[in-house]
Structure 1
Amino acid sequence: MMALALIACNDEEKDQAVNEVKKKELPPLEKEYGFVLNDFKVLRDTIKSGDSFGYIMDKNGVDHGKVYEISQKVKDTFNPARIVAGKKYMILKAKDSAQTPKYFIYENNKIDYTVVALGDSIYAEKRKRPVTVKRREISGVVTSSLSEAMQDQGLSNLLVYELSNIYQWSIDFFKLQKGDQFKMVYHEKYIEDTIFAGIEKVDAAVFKHSDKPFYAFNYLSDSISGKPSFYDDEAKALQSFFLKAPLNYSRISSRFTRRRFHPVQKRWKAHLGTDYAAPHGTPIVSTANGTVIASSYTSGNGNYVKVKHNGKYTTQYLHMTKRAVRTGQVVKQGDVIGYVGSTGLATGPHVCYRFWVNGRQVDPYRQNLPSAKHIEEDLKDEYFAYIKPLKKELDQIPYKNI
């Protein structure tokens, strides 16, 4: 009996040792895009300028007839003609001698991707990578610029744009001062808990500019539109009818004046606009809702767009490298209408912003422009109850100092 027990014990130890060896020999499972990559031969690449879906398929062994069949069957979900240079893609091939492509995976962005099945059953499916959202609190101080304040703390520059979008109607970001302070409560998106994928939303912020605190709370006051807006601690809307500038983070290189020496024509003349110098290709946005009444080119203005906002106000944007809207198109405040360039009579990349009131060109900085709608009186109690814990949270975050 003792001998039999010893034999059984030795057999168990032997099986355990064999299993451990097998485990060590097997590579760890690698999963991505909903596939076990170990089951395929994996090709990763990036769409290059001039690449087409057909070219990529052809060089990976898919014949023209099959490419045409795939394109026809998936065009409602995935348009092969619209693949964009710089986007990543992956091809999963069978682990056989022919290495037949089975799936084409196209990254639309960090989160969204499209799977195209290339086998007998052809289909395309839009999918999303798993995203988690983390709530964060930050505090910062301006030393030389808002961008540097973010970089000093290892924070994303996307927060610069979030703050500028929130406060663009109430704070002139061209006049920030050293020592200005800010605090934010916001949500970040992460892919698979590790890869930063952008800002989900900002709950609340306070920006102390020239020792005056400007509070901002994200609140849904219009259930019909379903779009929240930012309001201050007195239930007043931060949004104004017009943005302070048609682009983010540039510098004013020339203001509205009745007399300026023109750098190209070399003579004194009126400059009935405000010039914003910015890098080539910087997006230019409409400063208010309206309809595009001109999207054209002249030798003086270069590529330009003109927007009529109502019977009283009209704006114009000059010297674009490229226009992004057409005549007759309806645009909303903040929509991109073109990109900074130096077309027409311009010595460098900038946008000349022109402003009309009742058909007369004026300096927008000298106008008493209308404001957006504030919280209705009968809704204020509900609003104040909503922001109370957020304001308390903001106030408890210590300000950073220089």
Structure 2
Amino acid sequence: MDRPRNRSVGNRCIVQILLIGVVFLTACKDDAKEDILAEEIIAVVEEPKDIIEFGFNLNDFVVKRDTIKKGDSFGEILERNKVGYPQIFHIAEKAKDTFDIRQLQIGKPYTLLCSKDSLELPQSFIYQPNLEEYVVINFKDSIHAYTNRKPITYVEKTATGVINNNISLTLEEQGLSPRLAYKMADEIYAWTIDFRRLQKGDRFKVIYTDKYIDDTIYTGVHNIKAAYFEHNNEPFYAFEFETDSVKGIIDYFNEEAKNLRRAFLKAPVKFSRVSSRYNLKRRIAVYGYKVRPHKGTDFAAPIGTPIMATANGTVTKASYTGGNGNYVKIRHNATYETQYLHMKKRNVKVGQFVKQGDVIGWVGMTGNTGGPHVCYRFWVNGRQVDPFKQKLPEAKPISDSLKLEYLKFIKPIKSQLDNIPFESTEILDEKTLEETLEEKNNLITLNL
């Protein structure tokens, strides 16, 4: 009778031992999982990804970013962040030879790099006057200041197009920058192609570079390296070439080394109208219809419109008189001089070399004037003349010594340009274009 009872007790012991084993194995597995998870967490903590900006690893700091607000000053910003005025004064004195802290502008960004502790005391102040430049005032250990630039990347790209309407619309349809149209129309082909009179079927190719800051911030088209424009079935090549490395003069020449521009712009302001022409027999009612010669050409434009140098030259006068107001005079060579009157403000100094298209001031109403405009005066051999009646020279041709270098320089670029295929040569008239758009809209409706 005892045997069945003993057998039952033995079975219960075996079951208990098995249960203990299962619990033990489960616990071991859980411990192993926890160990692996802990190791993964430690690995993540031990290997943070560096975030480098302004030459610092931002992981080493508490980073505070903001913009300069109205009423902000360098001292007030640091005081708000627990820096005392004696130290602020000391920092400003040490940094003044590199950066004047009074130059902080409203709306510009700044960054404070602070200690990674409970106090979070500032150790560096970084100010960005523009997208590229930044100023560092470092006062972690010793006080020193310096300026630097963010890394710039230039990416070469190509584009082609066929004109159905205008060049801006053609570029927009391809998602390209309108800056390309501006550069081609105003900087390259301004003297050879009238972009207001483009024909359907005109087409172009262009090799250009886009500019990026920190590889992420797109700042637009930097320059056009080469272009081909076919207008009325006539080809126009353009290649960028530096003719004077000292003065930084860059021009565009065709495949035969002929300069594409003229020596002088037609007007010193864009999108303006001529309100008064050069007239030596002008009579004005205010002066009793007496003859009051007008030896300039007035271009009416809103106050603040940029005034451009119409040609390369050296500023000989930048001053103010009662009649002229703020004015600038430029000598271009032994023959030609130009003058620009009634400026709101001047942007150049005497002795400064300016290039064609550089902004030398802004339209205003200073001096004797009845409305906002720039009075443009033109001298030939010391005598004021009407610029519209002059047979103005072409821009300075490329020198013989540079011509061979230029032709060698453009050879591979021209080959690259010629080998860019046009994406489409199909020209649609207005009716066909409307039908195509209607067909696309119908397809979209059906898909919906």
TM bracket, shorter-chain basis: 0.7 to 0.9
Is residue 303 from structure 1 mapped to residue 303 from structure 2 by the alignment? no
Q: CA deviation at 1:40?
A: 3.1
1:231 paired with 2:253, answer yes
* Relative contact order higher in (CA < 8 Å, ≥ 6 apart): 1
**CA-CA distance at 1:254 after TM superposition:** 3.1
8 Å contact kept, 1:172–1:244: no
After TM superposition, give the deviation of residue 24 of structure 1 in Å. Answer: 8.3
State the partner residue of 2:406.
383
Residue from 16, 34, 46 that aligns with 1:14: 34
Name 1:43's counterpart in structure 2.
64
| 1:216 and 2:269 correspond | no
Task: Determine whether 1:85 maps to 2:106.
Answer: yes
Q: Does 1:193 align with 2:215?
A: yes
**2:124 maps to 1:103:** yes
Shifted more, 206-215 versus 76-85: the winner is 206-215
Q: 1:357 aligns to what? A: 380
Determine which structure has the larger strand proportion and give its number.
1
CA distance in 2, matches of 1:394, 1:209: 17
Residue equivalent to 2:141? 120
Moved more, 218-227 or 233-242: 218-227
Q: CA deviation at 1:217?
A: 0.7
Q: Which has the higher helix share?
A: 2
TM-score, normalisation: structure 1: 0.80
Hey, what does 2:431 align to over in structure 1? none
Shift of 1:383: 3.0
Q: Which entry has the higher C-alpha Rg, 1 or 2?
A: 2
Question: What displacement does 1:265 show?
Answer: 8.3
What secondary structure, in the 3-state scheme, does the structure 2 residue paired with 1:156 have?
coil
Question: Counterpart of 2:176?
Answer: 155
Query: Which amino acid letter does the alignment assign opposite residue 352 of structure 1?
Result: C
Q: Which moved more, 1:110-119 or 1:218-227?
A: 218-227
With 100-109 and 34-43 compared, the bigger mean Cα shift is at 34-43
Pick which of 19-28 and 328-337 moved more: 19-28
Do 2:261 and 2:394's aligned partners in 1 also have CA atoms closer than 8 Å?
A: yes
Conserved? CA contact 2:229–2:235, under 8 Å: yes
Question: Structure 2: which 5+ residue stretches go unaligned?
Answer: 1-20, 429-448
Equivalent residue pairs, number:
398
* Shift, 1:151, TM fit: 4.7
Question: 1:323 and 2:343 equivalent?
Answer: no
2:336 aligns to what? 313
**Deviation by residue 1:203-256 (Cα, 9 ceiling, x = unmatched):** 112345565443211224556767553211111123443333324x32333363
The alignment's TM-score, normalised by the length of structure 2, stands at 0.73
- Percent sequence identity is 44
How many angstroms does 1:90 deviate by? 1.0
Deviation at 1:397, TM superposition (A): 4.3
Partner of 1:109, secondary structure, is coil
Separation (CA, whole Å) in 2 of partners of 1:264 and 1:392? 64
Q: Distance in 1 between matches of 2:193 and 2:268?
A: 12
Partner of 1:246: 268
Q: 1:160 to 1:320 in 2, by over 3 A?
A: farther
Aligned-residue Cα RMSD (Å) equals 4.0
Give the letter for the 1:84 counterpart. Q
Pair 1:263–1:297, CA change in 2 (3 A): farther
- What amino acid maps onto 1:14 in structure 2? E
Q: Cα gap change, 1:147/1:352 in structure 2, threshold over 3 Å: closer, same or farther?
A: farther
Local SS of the residue matching 1:176: helix
1:183 is matched by which residue type in structure 2? K
**Residue 158 to residue 83, structure 1, CA distance change in 2 (3 Å):** farther
Contact 1:185 1:202 in 2 (8 A): yes
The 1-side partners of 2:139 and 2:416 are apart by 53
Do the aligned partners of 1:264 and 1:347 also contact (CA within 8 Å) in 2? no
* AA matched with 2:61: F
Q: Aligned-pair distance for 1:50?
A: 5.0
Is the deviation greater in 391-400 or in 105-114? 391-400
Look up the equivalent residue of 1:305 and give its one-letter code. V
Classify 1:256/1:296 alpha carbon distance in 2 versus 1 (closer, same or farther; 3 Å). Answer: same
